[in-house]
């Protein structure tokens, strides 16, 4: 079904192909309604206009092969009206590619770029890649906070997407486990490794902002913080996560009493202000350094690395 059909025609009933089994509804609709912003997709789903087998659904509902999806007519920009991502953003994305083969593409995602558009963001990584290479069927494998830099994996083949998502338990996790992060925590952490085993509860504030807190009613969440070295009264650490909840490292670090440096949402404002003055740190010091997994039933291993961003390395050097 083409996007123009959705504009000119009425309601469409689309049968889900077998190779889309397990796909989220919002991602399926983005493929059906080419050029539709994610905010519009959420709006038509939440208003009940989109149905799966005649029943209301949520944006994160999982489809099964053979399902019938009702798609309402929507107003999309004509081909000549749609805005493209800015060239400066496309240049940054092209320069950030650190690995590519026939199945996957990996980026060292810059801080400040969302993984996809929505919630006030016009364009994200996935929209940028599709603009760079309009003939390739890119799909996000997992998420990464907008302010976090580092390894982000995008699938070029549906089979690779499904296999990695199964490995990463993407259905329940926002960010992928099996990754190592580098972070600067405020204050002096003890030597060795500190484990935080604290359930996290996610809520959405008015306006769409996501907030996460430690709450016994939340989902099980485990993070391991290993001290690498102390710098200028702060602690440079490696973090591994057993789960991949939204904002997990940031909330767990704050729960320890050592929030992530530069974190405006969960951090220490006074410490952040001092770090701007002392080290020029103007953003969240959290970087997804590596990600490891294997495809083809374990026969094809991947170890993807993303070097620490220059601005974080510079801030770290200034604290020495």
Alpha-carbon distance 65 to 94, whole Å?
Answer: 34
Alpha-carbon distance 264 to 83, whole Å?
Answer: 31
CB 146 within 8 A of CB 112: yes
Angle CA(106)–CA(112)–CA(113) in degrees, nearest 5?
45
Q: Indicate the pTM of the whole model.
A: 0.76
Residue 203 phi, psi (nearest 5): -140, 155
Residue ranges for the chain with pLDDT beneath 70: 1-9, 76-83, 118-122, 169-177, 206-208
Residue 116 phi, psi (nearest 5): -150, 160
pLDDT of residue 222: 93
pLDDT of residue 8: 38
Alpha-carbon distance 117 to 216, whole Å?
Answer: 32
Ordered structural domains, the chain, with CATH: 3-71 (3.10.290.10), 87-168 (3.30.2350.10), 179-318 (3.30.2350.10)
By annotation, the residues acting in catalysis are 145
pLDDT of residue 143: 85
State both tokens at 272.
């952040």
């Amino acid at each position: 079904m083409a996007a123009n059909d959705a504009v000119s025609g009425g309601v469409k009933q689309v049968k889900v192909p077998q190779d889309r089994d397990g796909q989220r509804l919002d991602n399926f609709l983005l493929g059906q309604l080419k050029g539709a912003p994610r905010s519009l997709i959420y709006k038509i789903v939440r208003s009940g206009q989109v149905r799966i087998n005649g029943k209301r659904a949520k944006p994160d509902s999982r489809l099964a092969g053979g399902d019938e999806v009702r798609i309402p007519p929507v107003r999309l920009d004509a081909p000549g009206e749609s805005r493209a991502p800015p060239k400066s953003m496309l240049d940054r994305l092209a320069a950030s590619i650190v690995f590519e083969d026939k199945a996957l593409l990996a980026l060292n995602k810059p801080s400040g770029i969302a993984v996809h558009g929505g919630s006030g963001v016009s364009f994200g990584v996935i929209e940028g890649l599709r603009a760079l290479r309009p003939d390739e069927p890119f799909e996000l494998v997992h998420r990464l906070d907008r302010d976090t830099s580092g390894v982000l994996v995008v699938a070029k083949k549906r089979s690779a997407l499904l296999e990695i998502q199964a490995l990463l338990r993407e259905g329940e996790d926002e960010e992928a486990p099996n990754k190592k992060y580098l972070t600067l925590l405020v204050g002096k952490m003890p030597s060795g490794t500190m484990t935080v085993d604290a359930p996290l509860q996610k809520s959405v504030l008015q306006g769409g902002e996501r907030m996460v807190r430690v709450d016994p009613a939340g989902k099980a969440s485990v993070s391991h913080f290993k001290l690498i070295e102390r710098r200028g009264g702060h602690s440079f650490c490696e973090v591994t996560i057993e789960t991949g909840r939204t904002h997990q490292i940031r909330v767990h670090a704050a729960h320890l009493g050592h929030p992530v440096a530069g974190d405006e949402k969960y951090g220490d404002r006074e410490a952040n202000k001092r770090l701007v003055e002392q080290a020029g740190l103007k953003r969240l010091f959290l970087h997804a350094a590596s990600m490891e997994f294997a495809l083809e039933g374990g026969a094809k291993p991947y170890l993807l690395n993303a070097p620490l961003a220059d601005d974080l390395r510079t801030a770290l050097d200034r604290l020495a």
